[in-house]
């Protein structure tokens, strides 16, 4: 059983990206982090990728594409992807709006436009990390890729670019270990339970398209405690996570969000207050500290 200790959102700023890799002992820091994924749409992506490249090339850490369809500047022009991109060149849809588009009469158009934007992001990512064409790892910002039209567009884009997909996050999270661990259960919020139920339902729609060349999806944890994953270092919780995964013959992915930004101005979309609050949260530092002390007793 492999255990993936993952950090999303690499590439927003150089300092934030350095803070993420500082959670990895293999990258000269301190901690169990062994995987991260980068926002190829970020204005700072090239600079952050250059910093990470020696560690990625040396095999110190997995680097994946953090597909972004929701925050900040897009790589496609508005005229080419009007369902995704506004006239200001920024993404225009939240999760609920894109889910409605996916289930409506514009589903096919949405899939085509996602396919185009995903291709552009894959190309930008591989330009920065040219050694990863044959082992592409993908997840997405806010888990948008479990929206069925997005899932279809992403897989088509991977095929278009001739990439060999090595890992695709499936954020269909089991609740059992949370519910069976009292100290963790009380940290789970109702809104995250709703998100959990929604993503599990969406995965059932997407599952028939999951590539047969990929292994069984890893058991994913990081949604029910999203933004407060420092509580996932509870020993009883981790014991249950690992025991369930071993029973099912599955790998495990634990998703953290270390690496905050110093101010609203450093965010990808300063006008999106919810995103900014998430990046500025003191829980980012708490999650980084949790990665440093996490015990992988497997």
Return the pLDDT at 294: 86
DSSP state for residue 187 in the 8-state scheme = T
pLDDT over 70 at 297, yes or no? no
The structure's pTM equals 0.97
Query: With 0-12 CB in 10 A as exposed, 13-18 as middle and 19+ as buried, what is 119?
Result: buried
pLDDT over 50 at 298, yes or no? no
Instruction: Give the integer Cα–Cα distance in Å for 91 and 269.
Output: 10
- Domain boundaries of the chain, sorted by first residue: 3-293
- Mean pLDDT across the chain, nearest whole number? 96
Per-residue pLDDT of 201-218, as tens digits, reads: 999 999 999 999 999 999
Per-residue pLDDT of 158-181, as tens digits, reads: 999 999 999 999 999 999 999 999
Return the pLDDT at 238: 95
Mean pLDDT across 267-290: 95
Topology, domain 3-293:
TIM Barrel (3.20.20)
Per-residue pLDDT of 143-153, as tens digits, reads: 999 999 999 99
Please, what is the Cα angle at 287 between 260 and 279, to 5 degrees?
A: 25
Please, what is the Cα angle at 203 between 197 and 204, to 5 degrees?
A: 95
Alpha-carbon distances of 194 from 12, 160, 189, 190, rounded to whole Å = 28, 34, 9, 6
Mean pLDDT across 107-125: 98
């Amino acid at each position: 059983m492999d255990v993936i200790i993952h950090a999303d959102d690499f590439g927003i700023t150089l300092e934030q990206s350095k803070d993420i890799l500082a959670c990895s002992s293999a990258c000269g820091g301190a901690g169990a982090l062994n995987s991260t994924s980068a926002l190829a749409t970020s204005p700072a992506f090239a600079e952050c990728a250059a910093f990470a490249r020696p560690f990625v090339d040396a095999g110190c850490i997995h680097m994946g594409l953090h597909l972004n369809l929701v925050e900040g500047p897009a790589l496609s022009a508005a005229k080419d992807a009007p369902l995704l991109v506004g006239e200001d060149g920024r993404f225009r849809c939240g999760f609920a709006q894109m889910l409605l588009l996916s289930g409506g009469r514009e589903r096919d158009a949405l899939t085509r436009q996602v396919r185009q934007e995903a291709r552009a992001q894959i190309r930008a990512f591989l330009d920065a990390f040219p050694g990863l064409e044959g082992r592409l790892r993908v997840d997405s910002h806010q888990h948008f890729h479990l929206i069925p039209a997005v899932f279809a567009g992403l897989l088509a884009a991977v095929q278009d670019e001739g990439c060999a997909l090595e890992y695709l996050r499936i954020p269909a999270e089991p609740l059992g270990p949370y519910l069976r661990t009292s100290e963790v259960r009380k940290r789970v919020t109702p809104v995250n339970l709703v998100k959990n139920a929604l993503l599990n339902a969406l995965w059932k729609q997407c599952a028939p398209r999951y590539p047969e060349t990929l292994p069984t999806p890893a058991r994913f944890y990081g949604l029910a405690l999203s933004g407060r994953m420092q509580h996932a270092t509870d020993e009883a919780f981790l014991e249950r996570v690992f025991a369930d995964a071993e029973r099912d013959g599955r790998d495990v992915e634990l998703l953290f969000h270390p690496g905050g930004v110093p101010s609203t101005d450093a965010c990808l979309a300063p006008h999106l207050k919810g995103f900014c609050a998430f990046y500025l949260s003191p829980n980012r530092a708490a999650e980084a500290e949790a990665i440093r002390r996490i015990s992988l007793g497997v």
